[in-house]
Amino acid sequence: MRAIWKGSVSFGLVNIPIALWPAVKREELSFRLLRKSDLSPVNYKRVAEADGKEVPWGEIVKGYEYEKGRFIVLRDEDFRRVDIEAAQQVDILDFVELTEINPMYFAKPYYMEALKGAAKAYHLLREALQSAGKIGIAKVVIRSRQHLAAVKPQGQNLVLELMHFADELTKPVAVTPATPVSKGEMAMATTLIGKMTVKWDPARYTDDYRSALLELIESRIKAGGRAGKAPAPRAKAPGNVVDLVQVLRESLAETKKLGREKKVRRPPGRRKAA
């Protein structure tokens, strides 16, 4: 793995050389379309909607559809004219309270590595942000596209997290109206939340669908491409909640039962010496 970007963080007159490293990984399972009779891969062709004829690359231009079926053509010089200068700089514009930002604005994190000679300024910025409880809001150009971003302290590191611009977030399709709940319902719901509360551990949560799909693929490979044993489907949760109070009672009873089972299964401690 290598750094995807090198530049600097700047705010005021401060300039800190840094490199960005991916902070998340997710390899999508890739599938090819095949002809059923002989498993020959099927390729795509560039064809025109008007007559279905294949179009060579030399005859293709980029167009923006400003009305249904009506386009304005943009050429390479048009894109160069409005291109934003990639200054290789994370330009911090403001500092804000992290708690003020809706989590929906955050999109993709990157680790920020201090380059040679920048360690002191790097850690000074991290400690100052940590102490003030603030994050930096910046703009940065990565791979010819401008992004809104946040500079955040994370343990002993700084993280650059790409963000959505305000006009990229859509409004809720519908707002669920508030419905009155009784004190008893609230008490049971609060109790259930309390009993299901654990210390945050990201390793507890895995992608069950991906794991099951890989398991199925592996079984097919071992079976020489024949239909291997598929994982048993997970039981579906009930679609409708008829009696909220009854469901809460049953949920509380289930959590108490699980709690008792955990106590029974807990390995015995060492006996005290006589």
State the pLDDT at residue 212. Answer: 82
State the pLDDT at residue 235. Answer: 56
Instruction: Round to whole Å and give the CA distance between 22 and 1.
Output: 9
Which comes out higher in pLDDT, residue 86 or 46?
Answer: 46
State the pLDDT at residue 270. Answer: 47
Over residues 97-142, the pLDDT tens digits come to 999 999 999 999 999 999 999 999 999 999 999 999 999 999 998 8
Q: What is the mean pLDDT of residues 1-26?
A: 84
- pLDDT grade, residue 272 (50/70/90)? very low
Q: Per-domain residue ranges for the chain?
A: 5-25+83-167, 183-198+206-233+243-265
Query: What's the chain's average pLDDT?
Result: 81
Over residues 139-196, the pLDDT tens digits come to 998 877 889 999 999 999 999 999 999 999 888 777 778 888 888 888 888 888 888 8
Can you say how many angstroms the Cα of residue 32 is from the centroid of all Cα atoms in its chain? 25
CATH 3.40.50.720 holds for 5-25+83-167: no
State the pLDDT at residue 109. Answer: 95
State the pLDDT at residue 251. Answer: 79
Over residues 219-259, the pLDDT tens digits come to 878 877 666 555 566 555 554 544 667 777 777 787 777 76
Q: What is the mean pLDDT of residues 42-52?
A: 87
Which comes out higher in pLDDT, residue 29 or 10?
Answer: 10
CA dist 83 → 122, 149, 165 (Å): 30, 19, 18
Over residues 58-106, the pLDDT tens digits come to 899 898 888 888 888 888 888 777 666 656 889 899 999 999 999 999 9
- pLDDT grade, residue 273 (50/70/90)? very low
Contacts of 172 (CB under 8 A, 6+ apart): none
Phi, psi of 181 (to 5 degrees): -125, 150
pTM above 0.75, yes or no: no
Q: What is the mean pLDDT of residues 30-50?
A: 84
